[in-house]
Structure 1
Amino acid sequence: MTFIGLTWDHPRGYNALAETARRINVGRGDALIQWNKQPLEGFESAPIRELADRNDLLVMDHPHIGEAVAEGCFRPLEELYSEEQLQAWRGASIGPSATSYHWDGKTWALPLDVATQVMARRGDRIGEAPKTWGEVLDAAKRQPVAQSLAGPHAVLSLMSMVAGAGGTVGGEGLLSDEEATGALETMQRLYAYRPKGSEALNPIGLLEAMARAEDIALVPLVFGYVTYAASGHAPHVVHFSDTIRCAGGVGGVIGGTGIAFTRRCRPTPELLDHIASLLSAETQIETFPAFGGQPSARAAWQSLPVNRHWGDFYRDTLATAEAALLRPRFDGYIAFQAAAADHIRAALERREDPATTLSVLRTLWRGARQAARGHLDDRKG
């Protein structure tokens, strides 16, 4: 029997899984596992129930957990692995990466890959990473500074700025007043300086523009992609560093992916062992980095050989990953995220008063929470 898995089509999401599948499938009559791939946008546009009905394993992003549980898509891992094993994986995983897949008392996926919003800059154009948002604004007067605003990233950037300033994210009010207002004001000022068209670029597009052209010198908050930190990948190396945050502030929004068993899957012991091996120290330190992945294991982020090969990407963003912000995950959050990001982009374009923007975001937020099925992040629904 061959188990079918679905992942995203970026090398970071596919290559390491394909390599581990190749190894386990060698010498078998029937492959144990086959990985298919689709664009990352496909996970946003197709209902997760449809994807779960067609696949045994899904590589997914944790904000979909609330919807997936409400739809009954996944098998809780407590049915498949011992509590001791689950606790060991939680302890070995960096920051909230493992916690992000724990929902309503159960574990629904294992953390494979970790990314956080971090700072990215061309070191040959901006030597020292800015330490404050005032320094970022000063840099924008001299060099092209872009914000990550496309897709959901406008609201994720706002959340990261609020959390980094020590404000709250979530609950009935979504964002604390003072920090949210200040962040929106800063975003407006940076928007006025932006390289034209940069507001439409996703994180990969922003990093490509930095690495292959002179269009962008700094992005203060963007999901990191380790390949851009290595020499030889593109004409210019991109330097990554920790986010701007005050004492007690939280790092950038955590992203990355986890692997879930769908309800249709009837895993064999061999499949369970293979999936467990993906979180082993050997696979996380050796295979995932070697094939362009960004491992979830803390040991890989701290590894000297891994950092030496990848331009110290992990060492330079370790503090942010450990203190990363876990965004909401309730059923309906994904739709809120899209609507909120759309409004923020429109608000920046028309220079809307930040208090008005925050009021609209809260209206969207409260409507999404009221319509949610089941658990909310901060209380039971």
Structure 2
Amino acid sequence: MTAYRGLTWDHPRGYKALEAAAAQARDLSLTWDRHSLEGFEERPIGEQCALYDLVVLDHPHVGEAVAADCLRPLEELFSAEEIAGWRDKAMGRSMVSYHYAGQHWALPQDAATQVMAWRRDRLDAPPVLWDEVVRLSETGVVAMSLSGPHAALTFQSICAAHGGTFRNRPEAREAWDLLSKLATKSPHALRSLNPIGILEHMSRNDDVAVCPLVYGYVNYAPGGPLSFADAPRVTADGPVGSILGGTGIGVSRWCKVTPQLLDHLSWLMSDAAQRGFIPEHEGQPALKSAWRDPAVNARWGGFYADTYATLDGASLRPRHDGAIAFQTAASQRIRMGLDAGEPADPVLGDLQALFERHRPASAEI
């Protein structure tokens, strides 16, 4: 029997369901190692794929993986009908996010995006519009997620809510003005926290009532003081502004694929696993059927129904080779601009230059 090794991330949402599924699999030996949430960026994906048969990744790494030729395209492993079925059943653009250079490079086993986290004991209802968030921020109860890559992701989400991207100057100026107002009022002590840290803080302390854009973790929804809601909009009928997250399972180019392994991966994407096994083991499924399921929502505090529209309309991040380096540099520039109180145009000009610097000529975005 072939023994497989996989690499996932060290949070219950990232490993519990995968480890439990591997433990009960017949005719398959699969163990999962874990690394930190930030571990995605600590080692090039080509090196990870040289060490592991299966690698959990997020979609901005796809261009790098294609350039390194370190993943097997799903088209080599599964039928066109299976792939089309997963694309149709997946939440929002979760499956599409792993389609690059004409092929799919990972199975979207987990779906997430930036949504709103709020405390039920501090507010009667979550804010719906960004203007409401700004008014709340005047009381010091609004925290912004700006650590690591999240400065760029939060800014891109606000740009999307204004109907553009950071490369569309009029919309980006409006987004920068909004982010600047909110960052000034955001508790500085939380600036270094990643999404898990922010949600942990909000779960244990009542000083923050709202984080308007934070990657949703269903694990914090049931039982505690936190609820989740759709991301704010600029107008009631305006676009949702959120940047897709989630993770997919990629198969290393050097993996010795067997029918048993493919059956296991297919089962993880099945309706039964996505609506039953994965939520039961603290995972966050990727299929629409799970997000709509009344029983799943009842068990997990309505998390899925309350954030469905945001995930369904979430935008993709750049995925070209160099996208991760751009995301890192852009976040640093955004934090510098916010700390210095800079106006929009110098920051936006630098972001455009960073984007072009880290994007290979003629590369797909």
Q: Fold match, TM over 0.5?
A: yes
CA distance in 2, matches of 1:51, 1:242: 34
Match of 1:376 in 2: 364
Match of 1:343 among 333, 336, 355: 333
Q: CA deviation at 1:71?
A: 0.3
1:216 aligns with 2:216: no
Match of 1:191 among 183, 189, 193: 183
**Structure 2 runs not aligned, ≥5 long:** none
Match of 2:345 in 1: 355
Q: Specify the SS of the correspondent of 2:123.
A: coil
**Relative to structure 2, which stretch is displaced further, 332-341 or 352-361?**
352-361
TM-score after normalising by structure 1? 0.92
Match of 1:14 in 2: 15
Aligned residue identity for 1:204: I
Matches for 1:146-165 after TM superposition, within 5 Å: 146-165=143-162
1:35-75 deviation per Cα after TM superposition (whole angstroms, max 9, x unaligned): 11111222201011110001111111110000000000101
**Contact kept? 1:157, 1:221, Cα under 8 Å:** yes
Aligned residue identity for 2:216: G
Q: CA deviation at 1:355?
A: 1.2
**Contact kept? 2:145, 2:154, Cα under 8 Å:** yes
Match of 1:302 among 292, 311, 327: 292
1:323 aligns with 2:320: no
CA distance in 2, matches of 1:74, 1:261: 6
1:100 aligns with 2:97: yes
**Cα distance, 1:248–1:195 mapped onto 2, change above 3 Å:** closer
TM-score after normalising by structure 2? 0.96
CA distance in 2, matches of 1:10, 1:182: 35
1:84-116 deviation per Cα after TM superposition (whole angstroms, max 9, x unaligned): 010011111010000001111111111010110
Match of 2:66 in 1: 69
CA distance in 2, matches of 1:243, 1:176: 21
User: Percent of aligned positions with the same letter in both sequences?
Assistant: 46
Matches for 1:87-166 after TM superposition, within 5 Å: 87-166=84-163
CA distance in 2, matches of 1:215, 1:319: 28
**Contact kept? 1:57, 1:260, Cα under 8 Å:** yes
Q: Specify the SS of the correspondent of 1:331.
A: coil
**Structure 1 runs not aligned, ≥5 long:** none
Q: Specify the SS of the correspondent of 2:191.
A: helix
RMSD over aligned Cα, in angstroms? 1.3
**Contact kept? 1:158, 1:183, Cα under 8 Å:** yes
CA distance in 1, matches of 2:159, 2:167: 7
Q: CA deviation at 1:317?
A: 0.4
Number of residue pairs the alignment of both structures matches: 362
Q: Specify the SS of the correspondent of 1:36.
A: strand
Q: CA deviation at 1:250?
A: 4.0
Q: CA deviation at 1:354?
A: 1.2
